[in-house]
Structure 1
Amino acid sequence: MTEISHRFVESASGLRMHVAEAGTGPLVLLLHGFPESWYSWRHQLTALAEAGYHAVAPDQRGYGRTGGPEEVEKYTIPHLVGDALGLIPALGAQDAVVVGHDWGAPVAWASAQFRPDLVRGVVGLSVPPGPRSTAAPTAVLRHLFGEAYYMLYFQQRGVPEAELQRDVRAGLRRLLGGRGEFGAAGVPLVPEGGGFLDIFRDPEVLPDWLTEEDLDFYAAEFEEHGFARPLNWYRNLDRSWELTAAWQGARITPPALLVAGERDVVVANRAAQDGIDRLAEFVPDLRDVVWLPDTGHWTQQERPKEVNEALIAFLAGL
C-alpha cells in the first residue's frame, strides 16, 4: 500500500512549509481549506500516487506544522499564491497541476491566473472562480447578505477565535459533521447575539465519511496551533482585492475543472449558479463541471472515490 510521508520544504516565498506527499511523477499540489490541513487530502494523496503522480499536500500558511507570521496583513492572496507556487521549484518541478478546496480553491484559481506558465492545469473543489469585483469584497458581502454574514463576523479580532477555541473538538464536530441552518437566505448568517458555530446543529452521530479518529486529528492540530492565523485569511479580503488590481479582467487560461457537491451551500444559491453558467467567459479552457449528488461542502472527504476519478481523468487529459 502506498504510504504518505512528511517533511519540511522551504517555499521560494521564504516560508518553511510542512508537506505530506506520496508518489513520483508530474507534480500535483493539493491546497486545503478552512478549518482543515493536509489531512483533508488523505484519500487523494495515495490515489494520485498510485496513478503515477507526485501528490503533495502542504499545511498552508497559518496552519498546522507550517505555522506562519503573526501579522494579519501577511495572509493576502499574493502571499498564499507565492507559498504554493514557491513549492514547485523547491520540489524539483518545473510546473504543477494545482488543486484547491474551499479557501484553497481561490488560491488555486489565482495561481493559474497569475502564473499560467507554472500551472499546467487547475482544479477547484466547492468554490468556483469569479472575476475581480468592482468594489471591495466586504462592502459587496454586506450589501448582499447583511452584517450577519459569517465572513463579516470573522473580520472581528479575537471574538471568533475565542469562540472556536472554547471547545475545539466540540466546535469541529458541529462544523464538519453537523448540518447548517441557513434559513431562507440560503447562506451562513450568524444569529443575533450568537456565534459562528450556532449556525450548525451538533450531530447525534458523525457522518460516515468522518470518524472519531479524523476528528481527533483535526482537534489536536487546532488545539496546538489555534485559529487566529487561519482566520487572518478572511481578514485580508479587502487587502487582497486592493493588491490584485493588476489582474482586473484577466482570465484563467490553463485547462480547468470544477467539482462541487449538489448540497454545498457555497454553490447552492442563485448567484453562484449564474456565475457557474457563465464560467466559460472567464475560464475559456474549462474542461468540465462535475456535480456530485448528495454531497455537501467537504467534497474530497465526503466523496473520495468520485473526486479521485474526476481528478485522474482530468490529469490524464492534459
Structure 2
Amino acid sequence: MSELPPLDAAVLPDGIRARMIPGINGLTMHVLEAGEPGAPCLLLLHGFPELAWSWRKVMPALAEAGYHVVAPDQRGYGRTTGWNADYDADLAPFRMLNLVRDQLGLVASLGLGHVEAVIGHDFGSPVAAWCALVRPDVFRRVALMSAPFAGPPSLPEEAPPRAPAVDVHAALAALERPRKHYQWYYSERSANEEMWRCPQGVHAFLRAYYHMKSADWPGNKPFPLAGWTAEALARLPTYYVMDLGRGMAETVAPEMPDANAIAACQWLPDSELAVYAEEYGRTGFQGGLQWYRCRTTGLFEAEAQVFAGRTIDVPSIFIAGGSDWGIEQTPGALRRMRELACTRLDGVHLVEGAGHWVQQEQPEQVIDLLLSWLG
C-alpha cells in the first residue's frame, strides 16, 4: 500500500488539520487534529464503515473548549497505511489488544503520557473500552458511543456446566424466512467485493447504508430482545440480521432515499458523503472487515480471557441515538455495562433525533454531553 498525503485541507472544516505520523506500531497513521498541542488531549476512535472524518462535527467545539482533539484513521481504514487487506493475511494485527497498542503508540508519538479521555463510536467503542480496561493510567476517562461494552469474556472454567449451545447461525438459516447475522456475513470472503464493486457504486451504497441506520429511516424503533436466539435476533432490521441470500449492498438498496430526501439531509450532505465514498472507493472495505473476522472466528478469545472479571474503573459515559438498534443488537450488553463492566458509569444518554451515527446526526447534543461530563 503506497504512502498517501493527508486529507486535503479544502474538505476539512475550519479548525481541523490533517497530517501523517509514521512509525506507530508498523503504521503510518493519518490523523485529524483540532486545538493546541499541550492542551488536555481527547482521543476519538471511529467505527465501521467510517473514518476519522466522522468526528468532523464535534472536533472544533471540543477544541474551542480547551482540548487538543486527535482522531486517527484506525488500522485498516482511510489514509493510514502499513496494514494488509489480503483476506488470507494474518489476522493477528487486527485483534483487539493490537488495536489498543496502536492507540498507545499514537499517544506516545504525540509526546504524551496520558490522554484526558478516549472516546469511541461503533467498533471504536470496544477499542476505547479495552484501552481504559487495560491501561487506565494512560486513558483516564472513556466515552462509549452506540456499542455497549459488556466486559471481557469469561474464562470457560468459571462457567457452570450447561447443555450444548444451539448453533444460532444454523437456526437463523433454518427459519421460515432464512436469515444470517451481518457480522458473520462481513467475515465471508465475498463481502468486500460485494460492497466495493456493487452495481450502484460505493457512493450510493453508503448513502443507503447510512440512511437505513439513521433516525431518518422509520424502521429504527429499538427495544430489548429476549435473548441470543434465532427467533429473537430475527426481529432486528435486515442490516443486522440479513436475508440469507443477500449481501449488504443488496440489502440496503431498496431503502435508498430519493433525491429530495438526500437534498434535505442536513447531517450528511452529498459533499460530505463524497469524502467517505472516495476513501472507500480507493481502499475497499476489507481492512475494517478484518476486525469482524477477529471476533467471529474466536481466534483471539483466549487472549482476551486473560482479563476475565476485570472492570473499567475510570469515569465512563455511554451515548447513543434513541433510534439506534446498536444498543440492543447484543441482548443483555447494555445491562451488563450498567451493572458490571463499568464501575464509575456517569450516565447512559439516548439522544433523540439520532440513529446509529449519533455524533454526526446530533453533534450539538453530543458536544454538550461530552463537555458536561468532562467538567
Task: Answer whether TM exceeds 0.5 for this pair.
Answer: yes
Kept after mapping to 1: 8 A contact 2:46/2:74 = yes
TM-superposed CA distance for 1:92, in Å, is 1.7
- 2:100 corresponds, among 81, 96, 105, to 81
Pair 10,180 (structure 1): closer, same or farther in 2 beyond 3 Å: farther
Kept after mapping to 1: 8 A contact 2:234/2:241 = no
**Identity among equivalent pairs (%):** 35
Kept after mapping to 2: 8 A contact 1:10/1:87 = no
Give the secondary-structure state (helix, strand or coil) at the position aligned to 2:50. coil
TM-superposed CA distance for 1:35, in Å, is 0.5
Distance in structure 2 (CA, Å) of the matches to 1:217 and 1:278:
34
- 1:292 corresponds, among 346, 351, 358, to 351
The residue aligned with 1:199 is: 251
The residue aligned with 1:172 is: 206
Q: Which has the larger radius of gyration?
A: 2
Pair 289,181 (structure 1): closer, same or farther in 2 beyond 3 Å: closer
TM-superposed CA distance for 1:229, in Å, is 1.2
In the alignment, structure 1 residue 235 sits paired with structure 2 residue 293? yes
Distance in structure 1 (CA, Å) of the matches to 2:283 and 2:135:
31
The residue aligned with 2:228 is: none
Distance in structure 2 (CA, Å) of the matches to 1:52 and 1:111:
23
Distance in structure 1 (CA, Å) of the matches to 2:286 and 2:106:
24
CA RMSD of aligned residues (A): 2.4
TM-superposed CA distance for 1:56, in Å, is 0.5
The residue aligned with 1:267 is: 327
Question: What is the CA deviation profile of residues 204-244 of structure 1, one whole-angstrom value per residue up to 9, with x for unaligned ones?
Answer: 22333110101111000011111111110101012232321
Distance in structure 2 (CA, Å) of the matches to 1:72 and 1:203:
38
The residue aligned with 1:57 is: 71
Q: Gaps (5+ residues) in structure 1?
A: none
Kept after mapping to 2: 8 A contact 1:101/1:126 = yes
- 1:44 corresponds, among 37, 58, 74, to 58
Kept after mapping to 2: 8 A contact 1:180/1:199 = no
Q: Give the residue type in structure 2 aligned to 1:21.
A: E
Kept after mapping to 1: 8 A contact 2:153/2:304 = no
Kept after mapping to 1: 8 A contact 2:29/2:80 = yes
Q: Give the residue type in structure 2 aligned to 1:203.
A: P
Distance in structure 2 (CA, Å) of the matches to 1:6 and 1:41:
13
Question: What is the CA deviation profile of residues 139-175 of structure 1, one whole-angstrom value per residue up to 9, with x for unaligned ones?
Answer: 9895388360000111111x11111112211110111
Q: Gaps (5+ residues) in structure 2?
A: 1-12, 157-163, 174-179, 221-232
Kept after mapping to 1: 8 A contact 2:155/2:308 = no
The residue aligned with 1:146 is: 172
Q: How many residues align?
A: 312
Pair 180,85 (structure 1): closer, same or farther in 2 beyond 3 Å: farther
Kept after mapping to 1: 8 A contact 2:151/2:340 = no
The residue aligned with 1:185 is: 235
TM-score, normalised by the number of residues in structure 2: 0.77
TM-superposed CA distance for 1:133, in Å, is 3.4
Kept after mapping to 2: 8 A contact 1:18/1:66 = yes
In the alignment, structure 1 residue 9 sits paired with structure 2 residue 18? no
Kept after mapping to 1: 8 A contact 2:26/2:82 = no
Kept after mapping to 2: 8 A contact 1:13/1:86 = yes
TM-superposed CA distance for 1:302, in Å, is 0.4
Give the secondary-structure state (helix, strand or coil) at the position aligned to 1:309. helix
Give the secondary-structure state (helix, strand or coil) at the position aligned to 1:9. strand
- 2:187 corresponds, among 128, 140, 155, to 155
